[in-house]
A and B are shown apart, each in its own frame.
Chain A
Amino acid sequence: MSNIPEEMRYTSSHEWVRMNDDGTVSVGITEHAQELLGDIVFVETPEIETEFTAGEACCVVESVKAASDIYMPISGEIVDANPALTDTPEIINSSPYDDGWIFKINPANEDELEGLMDAQAYEDSIEE
């Protein structure tokens, strides 16, 4: 059974989204996603200050097994990327929801968050 924290929102492409106190949102991949990918060896994080719309591929996570695009869960501007992933990409495997966050967004429209799945809906989606 995968760990799916209650306080976050999720996408069908296995990103998680956490609302931060400063109005930004953090994005990473779920425990289920890192299990599917296996050992992660390289992350190409997005450029800061780039804007993407929801659903656009914005960076790449590569494991020994496969390369996987990461999609913008909501529209917005990239305001931060996790510098630790350059030398220790494996923290996505060991701590997908905390140390292994990938980037932060300044949302263009917070209402888009409502369109994402809650923990229960995500759990149901991966059990199908």
Chain B
Amino acid sequence: MSQQTILYDKHVQYGAKIVDFAGWQMPINYGSQMEEHKQVRTDAGMFDVSHMVVLDLEGDNVIDFLKKLLANDVSKVTNSAGKALYSCMLNERGGVIDDLIVYYLNDQWFRMVVNAATRDKDIAWISEQAKGFGVTVKEGTTLAMIAVQGPNAIQKALSVLPESCKSIASELKRFVGQPCGDWFVGRTGYTGEDGFEIMLPETEAADLWDQLAQAGVKPIGLGARDTLRLEAGMNLYGTDMDEDTSPLQAGLGWTLAMNDQRDFIGREALQAEKTAGPAMKFVGLVLQAKGVLRGHQKVLVEGIGEGEITSGTFSPSMGVAIAMARVPAQTAELVQIDMRGKLVDAKVVKLPFVRDGQVCVEI
């Protein structure tokens, strides 16, 4: 049974082509995915991300709980109200149950945002682990979420935010979020551009959508959301990593806090993998020929072995095909991709491809 977000009628009104995504009827585009992509890189676009799951974690031991639950260390953010932390939540085998963002609000309250596709298993896992800590897990089921992203996103969004949110939002530093009344504004996103993610009561979402549109913020579908995040080198759960993938093999080593003795779920498995040395690593690829890279295409590293593309697409910002891939740790600078039976060259690059509107790799 497919669900609709509170903004579904707006998507239809703005001309969206609707597809099923993780059980939700979501806009894939409102005409052209390429134009929407460029709109976000050069101006401002808005995404309905109300299908994502907001969880409020509350209790006296919530900090200790999150230090156990998450592979990144919330101690990094508990010195600053509203600071956000990106982390993986691991199983005992060191595989990724989900990736998420958690905002520190006070010593008894964190707000977490997890993926829609993993909602049920996430809530079950978190609730199970929370039992011993007396932490309550409450889902924000009546919240909508709109992401406004792009170089002009903040200025345009500020022009329509309610008075009570304006001053708070205008002072947010990057990767910080703050409640304002029953709204919540975070300076976070999934595009590699500056902007806000705004949580607000569902009843007010359609009005905000219209006001943002009037301020020149164009609606952007899930198609462009995927090409934007891929250019930004940001992982997609279920595609780039899953419960059988270690973060060390998904380019997420930077999110693991292992320098002290903190005991978090999955630590032992990661420690063993680190000691042995990971067999695979996660890289960016730029195709050196015409065509489009796609997930699951085989990557051949001459004399060394094989890997696989996890996410691939045509990069609208660069005008060539790009991909994220898991390749043997001893990879070469140039690899071959099996594209429909033909072998073509691709260059191995460091992620991201694009950040703040600028291409960061050599094509």
A and B pair up = yes
Q: Which residues of A contact B (CB under 8 A)?
A: 35, 38-39, 41-42, 44, 60, 62-67, 90, 93
B87 at the interface (CB under 8 A from A): no
CB-defined contacts of B314 to chain A, threshold 8 Å: 41-42, 62, 64
Instruction: Contact check, B290 vs A39: say whether CB atoms are below 8 A apart.
Output: no
B292 at the interface (CB under 8 A from A): yes
7 contacts between A and B (CB under 8 A): A35-B17, A39-B32, A41-B34, A41-B292, A60-B340, A62-B291, A62-B314
A37 to chain B, nearest CB (A): 11
B294 at the interface (CB under 8 A from A): yes
Tell me whether A64 and B340 are in contact in the complex, defined as CB-CB below 8 angstroms, given that A38-B29, A42-B290, A44-B290 are known contacts.
no
CB-defined contacts of A44 to chain B, threshold 8 Å: 290-291
B313 at the interface (CB under 8 A from A): yes
In the complex, what residue of chain B is closest to A65 when comparing beta carbons?
A: B223
* B contacts with A: majority SS: mixed
B355 to chain A, nearest CB (A): 21
In the complex, what residue of chain B is closest to A35 when comparing beta carbons?
A: B17
B331 at the interface (CB under 8 A from A): no
A8 to chain B, nearest CB (A): 25
B72 at the interface (CB under 8 A from A): no
In the complex, what residue of chain A is closest to B316 when comparing beta carbons?
A: A64
B5 at the interface (CB under 8 A from A): no
Q: Which 4 A-B pairs have the closest CB atoms?
A: A41-B314, A39-B34, A62-B292, A39-B33
Tell me whether A42 and B291 are in contact in the complex, defined as CB-CB below 8 angstroms, given that A64-B223, A67-B340 are known contacts.
yes
Interface string of B14-37 (1 = CB under 8 A from A): 000100000000001100111000
Instruction: Give the residue of B223, B290, B291, B340 whose beta carbon is less than 8 angstroms from that of A38.
Output: B223
In the complex the two chains form, what is the Cα distance from A93 to B17 in whole Å? Answer: 15
In the complex the two chains form, what is the Cα distance from A65 to B291 in whole Å? Answer: 12
Taking A39-B34, A60-B340 as known contacts, 18 extra A-B pairs with beta carbons closer than 8 A to each other, sorted by chain A number, are: A35-B17, A38-B28, A38-B29, A38-B223, A39-B33, A41-B34, A42-B292, A44-B291, A62-B292, A62-B314, A64-B34, A64-B227, A64-B313, A64-B314, A65-B223, A66-B294, A67-B292, A90-B34
